[in-house]
Chains A and B, each alone.
Chain A
Amino acid sequence: MVMDLKQKNAGTSIYVPEIATITKIEQMSETEKLFEIKIDSDEARKEFDFLPGQFVELTVFGLGEAPFSIPSSPNNKESFQLCIRDAGNVSGALHRMQAGDRIGIRGPYGNGYFPFDRMRGKDVIIVAGGLGLAPVMSLIHTILENRENYKRLVIIYGSVDPANILFKEEIESWKKRDDIELRLTVDNSDGEWQGEVGVVTNLIPGINCGSDAYAVVCGPPVMYKFVVAEFEKKSIKPENIFLSLERRMECGVGKCNHCHVGNKLSCIDGPVFSLWEIRNLKEAI
């Protein structure tokens, strides 16, 4: 997964963000909000091209910076979205902000992306847990925009409870389509829940897919090992299994070394890796 890294010109600093404006905020669940963000400068906005799985470094001025994967479609050139949980300093401050407030954006970053190009003509299985749906949303958008290029599309999404299901609007529209095999599960039912109860791994054995299928997993760290084991039982090749690895990133551009996973850096070598790439990387999953 190598593409050209953007280099800034001399005299500038890779740590200077573009100024951007929050144009819309939508409460998605008790703890998550969806932010729509527009980069102020016309020129920078035009240059802002991203691939599914890439991320941005977001600055709340005076407070700090944090990385977030982009859930919206790469084809939306005017603005992009970020789905953010109120979990830390920066995300907490974001949750107190309002439409019209200014933030800083660096990126998009990441060399590893979900290989929507290589998935063409193949079955695609996407397994997401909780907030892990956000990074794969942009892949799902990309596939759905060119649905005819792909074979079977399976989306398995697990959530703590029905109230915490994210991107409900999109999920409702997926339910109506016959070209998406959607499986939803929750850890705790609320009594009205009609779907499955339990972990996402329970739903993988029931899937039919070719051995040349592509599989994607994104979710809390504890999930990966178990999901990958299920994929392997399906004989999906390790080079066709893709994982987005979350690590603490400070710079996003391969300098601060914070996000190392064995000998790789999540920011510039990832954040999306094939299982093959990280097979012998200890502490990867």
Chain B
Amino acid sequence: MLYKVIDKSTYQDFIKSLISDYALIGPKKKDKAIHDFVPIKDFSELDTDYKKTTLPPAKKVLFPPNEELVKYELGDSVAIEPVIEAEEKILFGINAWDINGMNFLDRIFKTDFVDENYMAKREKIIVIGMDSEPSETNFALSMNTEYAEEGFDLYMTELADKYFIRVATAKGNELLDKYTDAKEAGEGDFKEYDKYLDEYRKKFSTDVKMKNFYDNFESVYDKDEFWAKIAKNCYSCGSCNLVCPTCFCFNVKDDMALDLKNGKKTREWDSCMIADYGLVAGDHNFRPNKENRLKQRYRCKLKTFKEKFDTYSCVGCGRCIDTCLAKINIAEDIDSVKKEVSI
């Protein structure tokens, strides 16, 4: 990691150069309340002053809702080939917890069997991170994701009259050298940055106590009444899965063109909250009711990957809380588990 600074007055020119030389995806205000990561053609479209985007930016770019994986042509034999689409792009303005969400997806897709359909895209993307204001439902600080240690090329922190930039890759350094007169950060810069980080962390208002959850969860797992209360209003709609930066469940389907010769395999997002997710042959459903499904979602977010990757697969972004029509709140439910065990 290199640490550099650029003068704030040069920021606009830097970004404008990036926009002119690269396909750049960044945050844009769509209407009064909504920001979304979209292709940016002009600097004026960019608005990094956002609290939350409905869809997590990295997932949107790297793991789209529908993605062609394989195509084939039927004939005397079958001609078959992978669809690996990767183009160099800059993902600009993504915040720390969304970078950490992306890091989780990276681990899923590169552990054991390497998913080239995902990884080819990932390797081509240039990530420039930037802090954003946490929303009221954000509990990233409790999940240790308010700061990103890796997964970016550059991470830019806005200080009084400069940007403090963490340079993680050669590619990131090359961009800075080419388009800015970045200087190495000095003692004073670090001091200012340290103060900034302390202040930034104070902005996270929602505190979730993950301590003891790992065991407490098992203690309450079979308490039907407890879960009935928590899942009471769930519509099994799957919105929580769609907006989650780490939810990665998908289906693979085959489709045939009208010529009945050309076909493709596509993956599309699936949702563990939908009733037929756990359905197997013989109409047996391993998670027939919404309580089972919500419990499994919490296990997956808060326990499963603690064992596999030593990390939660929840980054605390709060999107599922904001999106849930039934007002199911994972942060409150973690506290409810604690209360159920301790009193």
A14, A19, A221, A250, most chain B CB atoms within 10 A: A14
| Least Cβ–Cβ distance between A56 and chain B, in angstroms | 15
Instruction: Identify A62's interface contact among B108, B218, B256, B287, CB under 8 A.
Output: B256
Q: B103 at the A/B interface (Cβ < 8 Å)?
A: no
Q: Do A13 and B113 form a contact, CB below 8 Å, given A61-B263, A88-B281, A222-B284?
A: no
| Least Cβ–Cβ distance between B302 and chain A, in angstroms | 11
Q: Do A220 and B218 form a contact, CB below 8 Å, given A8-B116, A11-B116?
A: no
Q: B310 at the A/B interface (Cβ < 8 Å)?
A: no
**Interface stretch among B31-39, B163-171, B272-280, B320-328?**
B272-280
* Per-position 1/0 for B190-227, Cβ under 8 A of A: 00000000000000000000000000001001100000
Contact across chains for B282 and A13 when beta carbons are under 8 A apart: no
**Interface stretch among A46-54, A143-151, A255-263?**
A255-263
Q: A64 at the A/B interface (Cβ < 8 Å)?
A: yes
Contact across chains for A221 and B280 when beta carbons are under 8 A apart: yes
**Interface stretch among B15-23, B73-81, B133-141, B178-186?**
B73-81
The B interface, classified by DSSP as helix, strand, loop or mixed, is: mixed
Tell me the complex Cα distance, A9–B108, Å: 17
A19, A61, A221, most chain B CB atoms within 10 A: A61
Contact across chains for B114 and A14 when beta carbons are under 8 A apart: yes
Contact across chains for A262 and B299 when beta carbons are under 8 A apart: yes
Chain A residues near B272: list those with CB within 8 A: 257
Contact across chains for A104 and B253 when beta carbons are under 8 A apart: no
Chain A residues near B304: list those with CB within 8 A: 260, 262-263
Tell me the complex Cα distance, A268–B308, Å: 12
Residue of B nearest to A284 (CB): B286
The A interface, classified by DSSP as helix, strand, loop or mixed, is: loop
Q: A246 at the A/B interface (Cβ < 8 Å)?
A: yes
Task: List A54-70 residues whose CB lies under 8 Å from chain B.
Answer: 59-65
Tell me the complex Cα distance, A202–B80, Å: 50
Contact across chains for A280 and B218 when beta carbons are under 8 A apart: yes
Task: List A193-225 residues whose CB lies under 8 Å from chain B.
Answer: 220-222
A13, A17, A19, A253, most chain B CB atoms within 10 A: A13
**Interface stretch among B50-58, B88-96, B231-239, B244-252?**
B244-252
Chain B residues near A247: list those with CB within 8 A: 278, 280, 286
Residue of B nearest to A60 (CB): B254
Chain A residues near B296: list those with CB within 8 A: 260, 283
Tell me the complex Cα distance, A64–B254, Å: 5
Q: B187 at the A/B interface (Cβ < 8 Å)?
A: no
Tell me the complex Cα distance, A60–B299, Å: 34
Task: List A9-47 residues whose CB lies under 8 Å from chain B.
Answer: 10-17, 19, 40
Chain A residues near B80: list those with CB within 8 A: 16-17, 19, 104
Chain B residues near A221: list those with CB within 8 A: 280, 282, 284, 286
Tell me the complex Cα distance, A280–B74, Å: 47
Instruction: Identify A15's interface contact among B251, B255, B265, CB under 8 A.
Output: B265
Q: A254 at the A/B interface (Cβ < 8 Å)?
A: yes
Residue of A nearest to B313 (CB): A257
Chain B residues near A250: list those with CB within 8 A: 250-252, 267, 270
Count B interface residues, CB 8 Å: 56
Instruction: Identify A258's interface contact among B113, B260, B270, CB under 8 A.
Output: B270
| Least Cβ–Cβ distance between A174 and chain B, in angstroms | 26
B78, B260, B267, B278, most chain A CB atoms within 10 A: B78
Contact across chains for A8 and B284 when beta carbons are under 8 A apart: no
Q: B109 at the A/B interface (Cβ < 8 Å)?
A: yes
Tell me the complex Cα distance, A246–B280, Å: 8
Tell me the complex Cα distance, A282–B272, Å: 16
Q: B44 at the A/B interface (Cβ < 8 Å)?
A: no
Contact across chains for A87 and B281 when beta carbons are under 8 A apart: yes
Q: Do A254 and B114 form a contact, CB below 8 Å, given A62-B260, A87-B281?
A: no
Q: A248 at the A/B interface (Cβ < 8 Å)?
A: yes
Q: B342 at the A/B interface (Cβ < 8 Å)?
A: no
Q: Do A19 and B84 form a contact, CB below 8 Å, given A7-B114, A283-B287?
A: no
Contact across chains for A258 and B249 when beta carbons are under 8 A apart: yes
B111, B113, B272, B300, most chain A CB atoms within 10 A: B113
Tell me the complex Cα distance, A104–B287, Å: 30
Chain A residues near B292: list those with CB within 8 A: 283
Q: A251 at the A/B interface (Cβ < 8 Å)?
A: yes
Contact across chains for B278 and A61 when beta carbons are under 8 A apart: no
Tell me the complex Cα distance, A112–B172, Å: 43
Tell me the complex Cα distance, A261–B251, Å: 17
| Least Cβ–Cβ distance between B300 and chain A, in angstroms | 7
| Least Cβ–Cβ distance between B239 and chain A, in angstroms | 18
Residue of A nearest to B112 (CB): A5
Q: B70 at the A/B interface (Cβ < 8 Å)?
A: yes
Contact across chains for A63 and B286 when beta carbons are under 8 A apart: no
B112, B270, B304, most chain A CB atoms within 10 A: B112
Q: B64 at the A/B interface (Cβ < 8 Å)?
A: no
| 26 pairs, CB–CB < 8 Å, chain A vs chain B | A5-B112, A11-B82, A12-B116, A13-B70, A13-B84, A15-B69, A15-B117, A16-B81, A17-B80, A59-B254, A61-B78, A61-B254, A62-B255, A62-B263, A64-B254, A65-B254, A102-B74, A104-B80, A250-B252, A250-B267, A250-B270, A255-B109, A256-B252, A258-B251, A260-B300, A260-B304
A interface residues, Cβ below 8 angstroms from B: 5-8, 10-17, 19, 40, 59-65, 85, 87-88, 102, 104, 220-222, 246-248, 250-251, 253-258, 260-263, 268, 280, 282-283
8 closest A-B pairs by CB: A13-B82, A62-B256, A253-B113, A263-B304, A15-B69, A257-B249, A64-B254, A221-B284
